Amino acid sequence: MDDLQRMRKVWEFIFQQSVTDDADFFTDLDGDSMAAAALVHHVAEEFGVSLPLFEVFDRPTPAELLVAVREQLTVG
């Protein structure tokens, strides 16, 4: 499973629906602050990086959030 598939699985777990488009927007999936906090938590578990909460709102798609994860992995 590649990283993007892993990220989609995290989003599917949080939103309890299929995320087939890597450009699905957080707000289109009825994302709110609680969902953002859950995403940050589960991304940390899945990828081993701690993202600030604002990243979910600044990078509101699975593909964009994965960019933030990769940036943390190269810095960290």
Whether residue 47 contacts residue 62, with contact meaning beta carbons closer than 8 Å, is answered with no
Determine the pLDDT at residue 76: 62
Residue 38: both structure tokens together: 């859950």
CB 52 within 8 A of CB 18: no
What pLDDT is recorded for position 22? 76
CATH no., domain 3-75: 1.10.1200.10
Task: Give the end-to-end CA distance of the chain in Å, rounded to a whole number.
Answer: 23
The pLDDT score that the predictor gives to residue 58 is 96
Q: Which pLDDT value is given to residue 24?
A: 80
Q: Render each residue's pLDDT in the chain as its tens digit; 76 residues.
A: 899 999 999 999 999 999 987 778 999 899 999 999 999 999 999 999 999 999 999 999 999 999 999 999 998 6
Q: Residue ranges per domain, the chain?
A: 3-75
